[in-house]
Amino acid sequence: MQRLYDFLRRHPTGVDTFWAVVLLGFSLLWVGTTYPPVAPPVAYGVVAALFSLVVALRRRAPQRMLLLAVALGLAQLAFGLMPFFADFAILVIIYTVAVHDGPRWASRLALVGGLSAATLSMLRWPAEEPGSALAHVFFTVIMTVPFALAWVLGDSLRTRRAYFAQLEERAARLEQEREAQAKVAVAAERARIARELHDVVAHNVSVMVVQADGAAYVLDSSPETAKQALETISTTGRQALAEMRRLLGILRTGEHQEAGEYVPQPDVQQIEDLVEQVRNAGLTVDFRVEGTPRPLPSGVELTAYRIVQEALTNSRKHGGPEVGASVRLVYFDDGLGLLVEDDGRGATQEMYEDGGADGRGHGLIGMRERVGMVGGTLDAGPRPGGGFRISALLPLKPAH
């Protein structure tokens, strides 16, 4: 049954043609069996055939078939061909034009023609039986109702279809917007994780490399110093593994990890520990805090920590063997200021402006992205007297 229904939906003109043949058959049967015979029967046959054509092509050319139906109705009035079975096609074309999403003039013409059909018929062929005028008016109204219902039914169905089409379009648009937002969110999350990975790997591996080189250099002459360097490598490696484990936990989906399984996000309070770790790696760092320390939003604290971490890592990598650095944290009423400077060789212009090549300069790009996410400003470049300077201002209000 479903296959038959699908077949009929795929061939609407074939279905309409079938009903047109049925209408033509019943119309010709009415003409042939009416007594006394209607005159002339050939004219009724031609009108019946044309009304059947209206039914057959109603969905392929609704406006043209409406005009044909109007012309046939006027011809019946003009030549005295009284209404018969084929006039049922008028109801069909009124419904079709009303339900079709076409020009409004066709729908209005169908409504006006349907409402006036019964009245014109009564005026053209008045009732032979005597009766009151009120009875004739009542009969005319009753005959008008089917035409009005056909138009109302078609127009209601057209409105309903338009409403559902609008809902489908809106749902499709919302789905596209959700997909776009999901892609943006995924890209942002990937960028955030990439920044975290860069900060963790670059800093900790840099410390481990420096300590390993130092341990190899003093292994024979000062075993105790080499032992301390190896302990620093072990501690730094564990910290790197802990943060890597936290980042991998973020990447997992559908798994709820126990609280405390991953290390917490670093904050401003841990900057002092970071500076001490860098000092142990051989970099001289002067660390100062100005203003009254107070709790800050977690995003600001993480951004401040990562900026200092990346800046000290760059000083150690690009500053040279005798580089010294200074870190300043300034608590303002409406934000947190950061100033990290070194007296080393600095970096090339391409490194801090264009991002470098072959993977270089991504730390500064990550800094700018982090600062932008909290609505702050960052300035990075060489110092007038030599070395490199990074300053940032992180507001306490989140970026909109």
- Residue 73 reports pLDDT greater than 90: yes
Output the CA angle 127-132-136, nearest 5 degrees: 45
Q: Given pLDDT bands bounded at 50, 70 and 90, which one contains residue 87?
A: very high
The per-residue pLDDT for 189 is: 66
In this prediction, residue 325 carries a pLDDT of 92
Whether residue 255 is predicted with pLDDT greater than 50 in this model: the reply is no
Asked if residues 347 and 320 have their Cβ atoms less than 8 Å apart, the reply is no
User: Mean pLDDT of all residues in the chain?
Assistant: 82
249 has pLDDT over 80: no
Q: Which domains does the chain have, with CATH numbers?
A: 2-126 (no CATH), 267-400 (3.30.565.10)
- pLDDT tens figures, 209-244: 777 777 777 777 788 777 777 877 777 777 777 766
Looking at residues 265-269, what average pLDDT do you find? Answer: 83
* Higher per-residue pLDDT: 262 or 145: 145
Q: Which amino acid is at 2?
A: Q
Q: What is the pLDDT of residue 148?
A: 93
Sheet with 284-290: list strands edge to edge: 284-290, 324-331, 335-342, 388-395, 377-382
Give the model confidence (pLDDT) of 98-115 as tens digits: 999 889 899 999 999 999
- Distance (Å) of CA 164 to CA 5, 12, 113, 168, 169: 22, 21, 29, 6, 9
Distance CA 23, CA 224 (A): 110
The end-to-end CA distance of the chain, in Å, is 58
Length of the chain: 400
**Average pLDDT for 346-356:** 52
Contact 339, 391 (CB under 8 A): yes
Most confident option among 11-15, 189-193, 200-204: 11-15
Give the separation between CA 109 and CA 100, rounded to whole angstroms: 13
The model's pLDDT over 268-302, given as tens digits with 9 standing for 90+, comes to 888 998 898 888 877 889 999 999 888 888 888 88
| Global pTM value | 0.51
